[in-house]
Structure 1
């Protein structure tokens, strides 16, 4: 293993100078720092993580709290891409990431906070959890730097997709295509209603109210996110109504696949007989026929910004502003919404 002494010999400077250069001390010239770092890299020097942690009180490790009740894990299309972007940005800044929880079994029955302390995480990103869980509440209220994704929680930095404008754009587009009988099978979660659900549902009602479109209560059922079976059943009920909708919104693209199956099972065509709208913009939605009309979320930006904001909190906890960052998506008009004669 290469030591600081080995580097000092190769550079012709003292061990103290090597240490200061590698730790970016201000009393060492940039030229010396550059030389020392180049030699250290050439020799294959790697700092001892445990020693570094003791010295800086940082482990360079970030915890990821991801609890998916549907047990889809990292096959969850949306969060998979968000967390992949988060991971790449964190690693580019010298951080490793470790999952606090996978599935429903906690490590040795530890609470999330206990696990975080045990692992010595410098900070935590929280995505896809039941925010009403007391264990999550305990973690959020702790002193550990935290960034949440797609949920506003207490006085914590949150990275949000632009759900209000996303639904507004989709609903306005469907209206402009001549649809007036528009249903929304919206998402629901266990525990408290999420910020995502509230924002999308409110935006759906407001947009269509502003356009003069009435939405019957039976047009707005709720199903769990990413649940194709529940979306299938809800779609059947909508289509069996005396006055069924001409267009159906779904909580996410994956759930929309269940709706598509129900529509086709009844011998109806998409979009000629029933139009379909998803949300998220997962890759598979752009591979099916007809291509799904949806809102493509900028998962790359959401994940990258979440990592950057969390690292800022870790490195400068007193000088970093707690904020809510909204990331805009882009509408994919696709082929699943028919153009009707305006009423």
Structure 2
């Protein structure tokens, strides 16, 4: 195993200087830093994390909480992208990530207990039952925490600008001539489900469009199966909409499947718009029109915020809600309304 002494011998710099470079001391010149790091890379030097932790009283570990209803785990098309972006930033700063579970081996314990046992320096929360006892205990701790898509008064939240995204989608459909717009929404008791449903209702009023209660159909956990079932229900209505705004791309893909099975077509009979901008939405036929979330930016901002809180651990943490802009992808699943139906 390559050691600091080996790097010192090869570079000609003292062990102290090499150590300072590896621990980001500011009294080292840029030229020296570059030379030492180049030799470290050339020789394949890997820092001894245990020794580093003992010396700096830091674990260089960030806990990840990622428990979601659909059981897709790391295959989740949205949260996996956010996590990948987050990981890229923190690993570049020398941090590892550790997935936290509610149980370890045969023992049980809360997220906070496991965080303390593993000595994580901060926690990034992607998915969970945000109002569970475990999470409420975690919120009350002094650990730096960043949460995706859920607001906690004393913690930092990173989320998309859902209101602006929904408003943009409704305006887009209205500008195509659609007035009878249905909405397949997430569960109202969830932060995102309720926020997007409320935003849809407000956008419909804003643009002078009638809000038909029968057109508001739940797809609680944003899955393809729920989108399919919701669209089946819409297809039974005596007064049919000409467009459907789905609160996620997976809901939209499920809705399109139900439309095909009813011998109808997208966008000829129904214009469909989704929300998320996941990759699969751009691979289906017709290619999905959607409101894309900037998952790369959400992950990067979350990582930067956590690193900032770790570095300033002695300062009080101010709660913050950071919104990231969305943008519309004009696909092939929407069309101008002609003679009461869409026209591709």
1:324 aligned partner:
321
Q: Per-residue displacement from partner, 1:132-179 (whole Å, max 9, x unpaired)?
A: 111111112211111111111122111111111100000000111111
- Any conservation in 1 of the 2:184–2:251 contact (CA below 8 Å)? no
CA shift, 1:195, in A, is: 2.8
CA shift, 1:44, in A, is: 4.4
Question: Which ranges of 4 or more aligned residues in structure 1 deviate by more than 6 Å?
Answer: none
Q: Per-residue displacement from partner, 1:238-273 (whole Å, max 9, x unpaired)?
A: 121121211112221112222111111111111111
Q: C-alpha separation between the residues in 2 aligned to 1:230 and 1:37? A: 52
- Aligned partner (choices 300, 303, 314) of residue 299 of structure 2: 303
Q: C-alpha separation between the residues in 2 aligned to 1:294 and 1:31? A: 48
Q: C-alpha separation between the residues in 2 aligned to 1:302 and 1:234? A: 29
- Any conservation in 1 of the 2:62–2:97 contact (CA below 8 Å)? yes
1:51 aligned partner:
51
Deviates more, 1:220-229 or 1:114-123: 220-229
CA shift, 1:72, in A, is: 0.9
CA shift, 1:23, in A, is: 3.4
Q: C-alpha separation between the residues in 2 aligned to 1:229 and 1:21? A: 53
Q: Per-residue displacement from partner, 1:73-108 (whole Å, max 9, x unpaired)?
A: 11110111111111111111111112113xx86653
CA shift, 1:338, in A, is: 2.5
Q: C-alpha separation between the residues in 2 aligned to 1:15 and 1:133? A: 49
1:164 aligned partner:
163
Q: C-alpha separation between the residues in 1 aligned to 2:27 and 2:84? A: 38
2:190 aligned partner:
194
Alignment CA distance shift 1:117-1:216 (3 Å): same
Which secondary structure state, in structure 2, belongs to the residue aligned with residue 288 of structure 1? coil
2:309 aligned partner:
313
- Any conservation in 2 of the 1:62–1:122 contact (CA below 8 Å)? yes
CA shift, 1:38, in A, is: 5.1
Alignment of 1:174-193 (within 5 A): 174-188=173-187, 193=189
Alignment CA distance shift 1:5-1:232 (3 Å): closer
CA shift, 1:48, in A, is: 2.1
Q: C-alpha separation between the residues in 2 aligned to 1:331 and 1:76? A: 21
Q: C-alpha separation between the residues in 2 aligned to 1:13 and 1:174? A: 65
Unaligned runs of 5+ in 1: none
- Any conservation in 2 of the 1:156–1:322 contact (CA below 8 Å)? yes
Q: Give the structure-1-normalised TM-score.
A: 0.89
2:137 aligned partner:
138
1:265 aligned partner:
261
CA shift, 1:62, in A, is: 1.1
Q: Give the structure-2-normalised TM-score.
A: 0.89
2:211 aligned partner:
215
- Aligned partner (choices 207, 221, 224) of residue 225 of structure 1: 221
Alignment CA distance shift 1:27-1:200 (3 Å): closer
2:73 aligned partner:
73
Alignment CA distance shift 1:157-1:342 (3 Å): farther
Q: C-alpha separation between the residues in 1 aligned to 2:227 and 2:13? A: 69
Q: C-alpha separation between the residues in 2 aligned to 1:305 and 1:98? A: 19
Alignment CA distance shift 1:21-1:213 (3 Å): closer
- Any conservation in 2 of the 1:312–1:320 contact (CA below 8 Å)? no
Unaligned runs of 5+ in 2: none
CA shift, 1:292, in A, is: 1.1
Q: Per-residue displacement from partner, 1:209-231 (whole Å, max 9, x unpaired)?
A: 01121212221121222322222
Q: C-alpha separation between the residues in 2 aligned to 1:147 and 1:295? A: 24
2:120 aligned partner:
121
Which secondary structure state, in structure 2, belongs to the residue aligned with residue 121 of structure 1? coil
Deviates more, 1:166-175 or 1:215-224: 215-224
Q: CA RMSD in A?
A: 2.5
- Any conservation in 1 of the 2:222–2:251 contact (CA below 8 Å)? yes
> How many pairs does the alignment contain?
338
